[in-house]
């Protein structure tokens, strides 16, 4: 049975009801909001707004992982995220996640006050798993085929859902063997990361396969390109499509929804949750 809490250092995040993770990119090139929050006052104001709108977690990233993006060295990521995380933790009562794959960035972020590592590479870089285990952070392990720069270059699967599920299952077990507590691990099927349109739609149809893996499921679909391809919408016209998918994800068992649009997403998933709680009661 999927645990209804997520252990993240000193915080226990209650997942009895689904929660929202608000996106805060301090990068010049993120696909949706790149460059908007590069200075600390603007970034902190955005964090405060996300908390006011109901975010349970703020996910701070200093490196874009959009398709085609180039790597950012660890020191530059640290310079972008650490001062912001420290300010958030000093002034806001919210769990902070760092969106990184680099162990050095993880360490700096945790020392600044982060309690979650959200890693698109599932703690596979050397030293990442060992650090996360030693720090006692909550972790989110994501499936991604390839690297952000090349992941959309004709991704192919023999058995999409089976391959993604097996990857997440094996990476979760690797982390447990490596010293991370089972209730500190969340899983993310990586919608939009090395997947074509039909892959993303299939993963969303078959989310119950991933909720059955024994860890809370995180889903991020906010403003993604496949929504634009289905609806013919530009990045900032994809809210309603994203809300539909967030609601669908919660129906299928997702407990954490990652989004740029916290308030409307929270309304949508709260309504779905109210219906689902009634059915389960």
Show which residues are catalytic.
224, 258
Number of alpha carbons in the 13 Å side-chain half-sphere of residue 189: 31
Q: How far, in Å, CA of 199 to CA of 131, rounded?
A: 33
**Cα-atom radius of gyration of the chain, to the nearest Å?**
17
End-to-end Cα, the chain, rounded Å: 17
Sign of the Cα torsion 85, 90, 92, 96 reads: positive
Q: Are 127 and 175 in contact (CB under 8 A)?
A: no
Per-residue buried b or exposed e for 219-255, using 16+ beta carbons within 10 Å of the residue's own CB = bbbbbbbbbeeeeebeeeebbebbbebbbbbbebbbb
Query: Which two three-digit tokens encode residue 244?
Result: 């539909």
CB atoms within 10 A of CB 276: 16
Query: Which two three-digit tokens encode residue 25?
Result: 């990119």
């Amino acid at each position: 049975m999927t645990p209804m809490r997520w252990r993240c250092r000193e915080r226990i995040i209650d997942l009895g009801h689904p929660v929202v993770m608000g996106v805060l990119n301090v990068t010049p090139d993120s696909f949706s909001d790149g460059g908007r929050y590069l200075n600390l006052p603007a970034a902190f104001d955005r964090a405060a707004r996300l908390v006011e709108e109901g975010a349970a977690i703020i996910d701070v990233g200093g490196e874009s992982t959009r398709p085609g993006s180039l790597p950012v060295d660890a020191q530059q990521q640290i310079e972008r995220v650490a001062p912001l995380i420290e300010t958030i933790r000093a002034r806001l009562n919210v769990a902070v996640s760092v969106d990184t794959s680099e162990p050095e960035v993880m360490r700096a972020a945790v020392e600044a006050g982060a309690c979650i590592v959200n890693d698109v590479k599932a703690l596979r870089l050397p030293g990442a798993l060992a650090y996360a285990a030693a720090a006692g952070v909550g972790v989110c392990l994501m499936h991604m085929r390839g690297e952000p720069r090349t992941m959309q270059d004709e991704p192919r699967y023999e058995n999409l859902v089976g391959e993604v599920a097996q990857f997440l299952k094996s990476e979760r077990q690797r982390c447990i063997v490596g010293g991370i507590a089972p209730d500190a691990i969340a899983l993310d099927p990586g919608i939009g990361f090395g997947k074509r349109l039909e892959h993303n739609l299939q993963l969303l149809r078959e989310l119950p396969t991933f909720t059955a893996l024994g860890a809370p499921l995180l889903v991020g679909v906010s403003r993604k390109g496949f929504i634009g391809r289905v609806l013919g919408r530009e990045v900032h016209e994809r809210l309603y499509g994203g809300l539909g998918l967030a609601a669908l994800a919660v129906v299928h068992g997702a407990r954490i929804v990652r989004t740029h649009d916290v308030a409307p997403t929270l309304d949508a998933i709260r309504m779905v949750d109210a219906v689902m709680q009634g059915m389960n009661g």
